[in-house]
Amino acid sequence: MRVSWTVLVPVMVTAAQGTAAEQAPPLPHSDPVVSRAIARVYPSLVQILVLSTYSDGGREKKTGATGSGVIISAEGHVITNHHVVGRATAIRVVLPTREELDATLVGTDPLSDIAVIKLDLSHRPKGSPPLPIAAFGSSEAVRVGDTVLAMGCPLALSQAVTRGIVANVDLRIPRSIEIEGENVGSVVKWIGHDAQIFPGNSGGPLVNLDGEIIGINELVLGLAAAIPADLAGSVAQQLIAHGKIERAWTGMSFQPLLKDSPPSATGVLVSGVLPGTPAADAGIRPGDRIVAVEGRPVSVRFDTQLPAFTNELLQRTPGKPLALRLARGRETLEVKLSPLSRDAARARDTELKEWGMTGRRLTRMEAIELQRPDTRGIVVGTLRPGGPADKAVPALRRNDVIVSVAGKPVDSPEALVRATGDIVRTAKAPVPTVVGFERAAEKLLTVVEVGIRAPQQPPQEARRGWLPVNTQVLSPRLASALGYKGRKGARVTQILPDGEASGLRLGDVVTRVDDALVEASEPQDGDVFDALLRAYKPGSKAVLSVLRDGKPIEVTVTLLEAPRQENELGIYEDVVLEFRARDISYLDRVKHRWPKEIAGALVSQVDAGGWAAVGGLRIDDLVLAVDGNTVRGVKELEAVLRPMKARKPGEVTFFVRRGVQTLFVEVQPSWGETTEASR
């Protein structure tokens, strides 16, 4: 079965934005009922532009995407999907009027895949009209065959509306849909409909003909699937009120009654009970049937009835005793348990650059799954191939739990960041550090070279002789075509700046340097001529035997000092913005045809998924200035960027030359925690 999230569209393909005056309202539909429904919701429909993070290959990678949302309060609250904004570092929202506003994340819930953001209204012009608000309807009232309108911003385009009918009000997915370890299908029973939605529609409203939100579009399974409004609206209100969702947790898992259960059987089947949980402490066992909760009868015979029961338990108050009636064989038991506050299924990864890995705190559920007595320690997430954690012997692996560093216990990612800072604060190179970790039941030690190895400034080679010309090998075919059959040599293809003084001309074929033959006739001989010149010191003279216009002549040249090569130039590496730059060389100027007055730092590497890459910085961009500060080389680039680690601005603007054009590249980093090694 093909299941598609509908958000994954790069920001770069967003349609060009205009002004409020350019936006025309939707044309009236031939059906006035449809027109009225659109008019009630469309003005509150927004496009959401997001910069987000995810963990991969031992790094926190960044990506740009778009989704949809709908305004649900006069204060600017917008409901959307968790998978649109749940890991956002920067959010910008475009209204149907083309007005653009920044937004912040109010709260997010991966279990229901619902999130709420809030528009920053402080910069709206005075006299701006109040925000249009959409209202929720009842998803319980939805029936198969009802006409519905799916609103959103498909394919990163501007706001759009499609029409269809409800195909299924009990839509369940045969396999689980997981977000950050949470099984969304355990609490969501989707509304299936055939109104077309596409990538970019995620978080947009599903609307009935009364102009009410009856669902939040989430994914495509052939049919489109929307989270019912009753659940989505309830989660949104809790997020607005508290910034998070507090749920009760008993430690039980459930299934519908088995198919061979007698028709008179009621309840829900307890399929599992985790050790050390309220349900285990209350004596509940797998195979028990819960037939009543707080005196209310329970009956779950089908998969479609399970989310409602799961939500019933999750909505109980943590710490408040809960009365359950159980059927165990022929016995009826009355038990009480006190649910705990439900922890996340899996915590978010933290990037640990000095370790070449990501790590996260142990949640209660992970501790149980790993059969650990408590939640102390750091779970190893992803690893960078060849990074310090990966090169340790024994190497750290995914799901190892780090418990000590340099002989001291560490119980959380924050503690590991502090310990790392202490280790690298005064170090000039990575520090071999004893690390204690647990893998299943084993308690192991390893040595990790903690720290970021600074790029080595290249050594300067002894200056050698050189001529400011480019040449090509005189191949046998080319020699015959030019009338030089049987000859070998190097043909001059370009006279570089200052090359006219050498006395050589375009098309000359150099066959000898003093007494040494230029033995160049095959592609692999391309360096023969230059190698002969490097044997001379700068300032020396040499006599070149040259074929010019079919005639042999001699040209006496004075060798210049060879320009520095790329591997001899100063470099700067920014581990936070994740790019590298170097000084420019004489040959760079030749290659790009830059005039002598051009100066800057040449971008030589941009890490995929890094802040610089997401912001649009590219290899071969020449950085001319940063935030208005002129950059004439990597030392000045470093002098401008290093202090920013402490200031942590929301945006860093690079002024670059790209080809013959200049442009501004805006990078929006999330600086996070930094240690001395990354400052």
Contact partners, residue 323, CB within 8 Å, separation at least 6: 293, 294, 295, 334, 335, 336
Give the burial class of 224: count Cβ atoms within 10 A of its Cβ; 0-12 exposed, 13-18 middle, 19 or more buried.
buried
Sign of the alpha-carbon dihedral angle for 385, 388, 390, 392: positive
113 among known catalytic residues: yes
193 among known catalytic residues: no
Task: Tell me phi and psi for residue 433, to 5 degrees.
Answer: -130, 130
422 among known catalytic residues: no
Q: Nearest 5°: CA angle at 189, between 183 and 194? A: 115
Residue 179 CA to residue 549 CA, distance in Å, equals 73
> Which residue, 505, 506, 466, 457, is CA-closest to 586?
466
Residue 67 CA to residue 152 CA, distance in Å, equals 8
First-last CA distance in the chain? 48
212 and 136 in contact (C-beta within 8 Å)? yes
Q: CA dihedral defined by 496, 500, 506, 507, rounded to 10 degrees?
A: -120
474 and 484 in contact (C-beta within 8 Å)? yes
HSE of 524, CA atoms in CB hemisphere, 13 A: 0
If you ran DSSP here, which 8-state letter would residue 549 be given? T
> Which residue, 505, 493, 496, is CA-closest to 562?
496
528 and 520 in contact (C-beta within 8 Å)? yes
3-class SS at 425?
coil
Query: What is 365-405 written as a DSSP string?
Result: HHHHHTT-SSS-SEEEEEE-TTSHHHHSSSPP-TT-EEEEE
Q: Which residue is it, tokens 């055939």?
A: 194
Residue 272 CA to residue 390 CA, distance in Å, equals 36
Tokens describing residue 519? 């033995």
Contact partners, residue 442, CB within 8 Å, separation at least 6: none
Which of 112, 139, 202, 412 is an active site residue?
Answer: 202
Q: CA dihedral defined by 517, 520, 521, 525, rounded to 10 degrees?
A: 150
3-class SS at 526?
coil
Which of 82, 109, 112, 113 is an active site residue?
Answer: 113
> Which positions are catalytic?
83, 113, 202
